[in-house]
């Protein structure tokens, strides 16, 4: 498996793949993940969203979508 390329609107496939970002919001003992919020086109936009929503303990992370190489189509038996 490999990370799948994401093509955002307005980008051509020949351009380098776009990077998307998400937020992991932590809560409770041991910083358990309470919520994951996706997807933002930049780390600063994800960070601003977390601040606007009042997230106290959070982390902005790049996203990777795992895809099979080659992709499987339909169920296998």
Divide the 77 residues of the chain into consecutive groups of 10 and give the mean pLDDT of each group.
Answer: 51 63 92 93 96 96 79 62
Question: How high is the pLDDT of residue 33?
Answer: 94
Residue 63 has a pLDDT of: 92
Task: Give pLDDT, residue 48.
Answer: 97
Burial of residue 37 (number of CB atoms within 10 Å: 0-12, 13-18, 19+)? middle
Which pair of tokens denotes residue 75?
Answer: 């169920």
């Amino acid at each position: 498996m490999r990370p799948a390329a994401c093509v955002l609107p307005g980008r051509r496939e020949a351009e380098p793949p776009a990077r998307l970002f998400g937020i992991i919001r932590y809560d409770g003992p041991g910083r358990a993940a309470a919520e994951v919020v996706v997807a933002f086109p930049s780390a600063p936009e994800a960070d601003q969203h977390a601040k606007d929503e009042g997230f106290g303990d959070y982390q902005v992370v790049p996203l990777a979508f795992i895809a099979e190489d080659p992709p499987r189509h339909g169920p296998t038996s």
